[in-house]
Structure formats: structure tokens, C-alpha cells
A and B are shown apart, each in its own frame.
Chain A
Amino acid sequence: MTKLPTHTEKKLGLVIDLDTCVGCHACVTSCKGWNTQNYGAPLSDIDAYGADPEGTFLNRVFNYEVAPADGGSSQTVHFPKSCLHCEDAPCVTVCPTGASYKRVSDGIVLVNEDRCMGCGLCAWACPYGARELDYDAGIMKKCTLCVDRIYNENIPEEDRVPACVRTCPAGARHFGDLGDPESDVSQLVAERGGMDLMPEQGTKPVNKYLPPRPKDTLDKQPPKALETVADEAKGFLGWLDKALEKL
């Protein structure tokens, strides 16, 4: 049943550091690679080498320009976006077939591809654009938090995190249990003021975003002019100054 669980034992999710992300799209590529070769239907590309290529991705990186209200200089923010594994996931309850579900054991939101009929209503219900229907398979695809990696005892322990986290060269992506206040990710969120996307939608996202740190303000307070250390020249230079003025 596509009822949401009242409680999940864990709240596994991602913490994305908007201050550290360099916008390299490595997480996008590694996500596409892993999720095309493993769990579920592959993420297809349509007309990949043609004039109008498009494809299915579970993670995409936007870039925004933010202009401060006080007129200071703008900054660009690299903004990775994938499923936020919401506690109150609207995509789950709208599903008519029972394909969408949220796991009680770890809170991950998944799609049972054997039941999905490709109606797309879950993608309509998601405010974040986190679900994409694969045009080739006719099945709804979404981030699985790499369920086939994080519990996989056949791969080295350091690889048992989502592919995007493992590959991020900037250390901008963190994975852990956001339901445990003592976990590294929870402490990071508390320390850096981690935020929800579109909180007014009432979805209670598990994934958190760390806002960019405040920019330094050098450009608003230019360094003071150097103090004058000698008003009048003395000695030979003083005589020269006076002599030249008399000419």
C-alpha cells in the first residue's frame, strides 16, 4: 500500500554543501553510470548522437546567480538536485498501483518497477522535479540512494555510499542517518544551518542543503589610505624642494 509509514527506523539521506560544490557534474555522471548498469531499468538516452539528444538522469546540477539585497556583488551557486526522500512524500500517496513506497527500515523512497504503469502522477506531485519517466522503459525512475551499494558486502567498505557521494572531488556531498541527532551529517546540518527546499510545500525533505558561507566584504570596505609619515621634506631633499619652488 502506498500509505506512508508513520515512523522510519532511520532517515538515510544526503547533505549537500552549496558552499563547497564546484559544479563539476561528476556526481551527475557517476550517478548515471552506476544506475544504468545496476538496479532496475537502465537510464536511457534518446538520439544520443543526433541533433536533439535527451536522456534520463536522477541527479542534475543547476547554477544560480544570487544578488544580495544590499547591492553587494552577486555570487554564483552550484546547485545539485535529486530526490530528497521526503518524510511526507506526496509522490508515494498519489501512486495508484502501489509501485511507489517509502521503506520503514531506512526511509528511502523507491519505485517497484514491476508495478509501475508509467502514469506520471508521482512526478506531477513532486515539487522538486526529482522523478523522470524513462521514455525507453516507460517506467518512473528516481534516486535510490544507491540501495545496491550502501548495503552491498561484495564491494569495499569505502564504496558503500551513494555513487554521487563517493565520486564528489570537492567533498560537497555527505551521506548518513539524518534521524540520528548524533550522526556526522546531523551535526553538520546543525553546525552549518542546513535548510529544506520549498518548506512551504509541507514535504519535510530528509536531504538538507548547507547554505553558502557569507562572502567576505573586502569590496565594500576598501583599505584605508596610507597615513602621511612626513609632511615636509628635511635635509638635502628639503633644500632641493625649497630651491625648486623659488625658481
Chain B
Amino acid sequence: MHPAPSVIIFTSISGLGFGFFIWLGLGIPDLYGWEAFAAFFVAYALSVGGLLASVFHLANKKNVIYSFSQWQTSWLSREGVLSVIALLAFAVFAIGRIFFGTDLPVFGYIGSALALLTVFATSMIYTQLKTVPRWNMPINPVLFLLYAISGGAILATAGGALSGAVAGVLILVLTALQLAGWMMGDKRLAESGSTKGTATGLNTIGQVRLFESAHTSRNYILDEMVHMIGRKHAQKLRMIAVAAIGVVPVVLLLLLPPSIIVTLVALASHLIGVLAARWLFFAEAEHVVGLYYNRG
């Protein structure tokens, strides 16, 4: 699949933002006044910024309002609706803490649950697609949720409200599961049972090979779904991602005393890793339509 920057930034940044919201809604860190303003500003900037980035992926932006209408069937629509409700719940929670010095825990808990559901809906946009076997497995929603929660946890360590140990353990679990996810994903296309033979129905005769493509130039299908560039560096990128997502932040969080600097450096490393992993999430994903083009 084409690793479009807009979608990589959208899933990474909004996931981090909603992940921070999950912790904020639980009162970790427990902030009021200007400190609360700073924390909620970061959470809103990340989540809303990420959502806006996704809009750049749309070819016909004027109809974006209709995307809130099909929540009964469409995970993309559900994600839109859930994100707006989550952000509204947190608006009440944040206003209480920033301007009135009062805690409204019910809005916090509801907001945290909605933020969790929003990230789950984001993951299901990809996981639901049987056409992309590497995405169509149960570990993917788990990974999306863990990315959000552990990214948020790093932010929550800033003022010492959350111990580095908790964030460190979450990141270790995430890194281990991400490695498992890559290994499981490598087998998924073969496990799906789709081949050039089933795609053309000619497997009853024999071995199928593309003789001549339907078109000599590129088209939307090839641009979007038969992305091949960069896969040769996949193994190196996986190692870089593991170091940046997990190893560096864990060492920083577990070995150094908590401070805003430690948090920022750990977060920067983690975010670089997340972007690399998300790039791989798209670039490595094989769409079964590639079978018609002698791919896969």
C-alpha cells in the first residue's frame, strides 16, 4: 500500500494525542490552571492536528461532512463520530480544571473510554480489510491501542505523575508485540489463500503468469495499492524502529531520574520510531489486487 505522509502522520500523531487524553482523563497527571492548560493544549494539538492531516488524504474535501453519517456500518465513520464526542467530553473536563479549578471525573472517565474507542476505530479501518492480509489480523488493534497508551504514558511522565517504570514496561510490551506482529504479518499473504490462480480462476488449468498487463502506464490501482519502493530496506527499518520505539526510551525512563528533558528526549525517539513503524505498516502491506499484476 502507498505510504502517504498524510495518513502516516494522521495515525501516528492522533494516536499519540488520544493516548495522552486517556491518561489525562484518569487524572494522571492531576493538573489544574495553567499546567492543565499546557497539558490539554498538547493533547488537543496532537489529536486534532492528526485528524486534520487525514483530511489532506481526501480527493474531494467538500463532502467531508457526510463522513459522520455511516457509523452503523463504516469504521471510518465511527472513528470520526467517536473522535468528535471524545474531544467534546474532554472540553468540559478541561474547562473545569483550567478555569474553575474543579475536577469533573465523570467527564474524564467517559472521555478516556471514548479516546480508547477512537484509537480502536482507527485500527479497525485497516484491520477490517480482507484484501490486505497483513492488516487483517487481531494483533493490529492491540498494537494501535498499545502505541497510543504507551506514547501517552511517556508524556504523562513529564511532571513525575507517572513513574518511568510504568511507561518503560508498557513500551517494552509494545516493542515485543510489534516484533511478533511483523513476524506474523510476513506469513499473512500466503495464509490468505489468494493466489494468481484464484484471482483469475485459471488455477484449474495450471500455473498462471501475467503475459501482458492491461495497461502500460501507471494508474490509480498501482499508485495506491501496488507500492513496491523501499521494501528492500524493510529489515533495517524494523531494527531502527525497534531501537527508537523501545530501546532508547526504556533506557532513558528507567535509568535516569524523571525530568522534562528525559521525557522530551524519550518522546522524540519514540515518535521517530512510531513514524518508521507506520511507514512500514503501509509500505509492507500487500494488497491482493497485486496478484493481477504478477505481484505477491
Chain A 120-142 interface mask (CB, 8 Å, partner B; 1/0): 11011111110011010111000
Flag whether B205 is at the interface (Cβ < 8 A): yes
Q: Is B235 an interface residue (CB 8 A)?
A: no
Which residue in chain B gives the minimum CB-CB distance to A121? B76
Q: For residues 23 through 40 of chain A, which have their beta carbon under 8 Å from a beta carbon of chain B?
A: 28
A42: CB under 8 A from chain B?
no
Query: Contacts of B289 on A, CB cut-off 8 Å?
Result: 126-129
Q: Tell me which of A53-61, A147-155, A164-172, A239-247 binds B.
A: A53-61
* A52, A65, A66 pick with most chain B CB within 10 angstroms: A66
Of the candidates B57, B69, B125, B209, the one having the most CB atoms from chain A within 10 angstroms of its own CB is B69
Q: Is residue A176 within 8 Å, beta carbon to beta carbon, of the partner chain?
A: no
A60 touches B214 (CB 8 A): yes
State in angstroms the CA–CA spacing of A149 and B106 once bound together. Answer: 58
Q: Are A62 and B213 in contact (CB under 8 A)?
A: yes
Question: Does chain A have a CB within 8 A of B260?
Answer: no
Confirm or deny: A90 has a beta carbon within 8 angstroms of a beta carbon on chain B.
Answer: yes
CB–CB B217/A95 < 8 A: no
**In the complex where A97-B66, A118-B60 touch, is A125 in contact with B73 (Cβ < 8 A)?**
no
Interface residue range, chain A = 35 or more
Check if A62 sits within 8 Å of B224, measured CB to CB: no
Q: Determine if A223 is an interface residue (Cβ-Cβ < 8 Å).
A: no
Return chain A residues, CB-CB under 8 Å to B205. Answer: 66, 68, 75, 211-212
In the complex, which residue of chain B has the Cβ closest to the Cβ of A118? Answer: B59
Residue numbers in A under 8 Å from B198 (CB-CB): 197-200
Check if B279 is an interface residue, CB within 8 A of chain A: no
Please tell me if the beta carbons of A200 and B74 are within 8 angstroms of each other in the complex.
Answer: no
Cβ of B165 under 8 Å from chain A? no
Among B22-30, B128-136, B141-149, the one that faces the other chain is B128-136
**Given contacts A76-B211, A90-B131, A124-B225, A117 and B66 within 8 Å (CB-CB):** yes
Q: Could you tell me the distance in whole angstroms from the C-beta of B222 to the nearest C-beta in chain A?
A: 9
* Bound-state Cα–Cα, A197 to B204, Å: 12
Interface string of A75-107 (1 = CB under 8 A from B): 111010100000000100111111100000000
* B219 contacts A68, C-beta separation under 8 Å: no
Is there contact, CB below 8 Å, between A98 and B69? yes
Contacts of A56 in B (CB 8 A): 219-220
* Cβ-based interface call for A116 (8 A): yes
Q: Could you tell me the distance in whole angstroms from the C-beta of A127 to the nearest C-beta in chain B?
A: 5
Q: Chain B residues near A96 (CB, 8 Å)?
A: 66-70, 74, 76-77, 80
Please give the distance in Å from A168's CB to the nearest CB on chain B: 16
Contacts of B57 in A (CB 8 A): 119-120
Is B292 located at the chain interface by the 8 A CB criterion? yes
B206 contacts A68, C-beta separation under 8 Å: yes
Q: Which of chain B's residues has its CB closest to A75's CB?
A: B205
Q: Is B268 interfacial (CB 8 A cutoff)?
A: no
**Min CB gap A86→B, angstroms:** 12
Which B residues lie at the A interface, using CB under 8 A?
A: 1, 57-64, 66-70, 72-77, 80, 125, 128-132, 192-194, 196, 198-202, 204-215, 217-221, 224-225, 287-289, 292
Please list 16 pairs of residues, one from A and one from B, whose beta carbons are closer than 8 Å in the complex, sorted by A's number. Answer: A54-B218, A65-B209, A66-B207, A75-B205, A76-B211, A96-B74, A97-B63, A97-B69, A115-B63, A115-B66, A137-B60, A195-B204, A198-B194, A201-B131, A211-B201, A211-B205
Please give me the 6 A-B residue pairs with the lowest Cβ-Cβ distance, nearest first. Answer: A118-B59, A138-B59, A60-B214, A97-B66, A118-B60, A96-B77
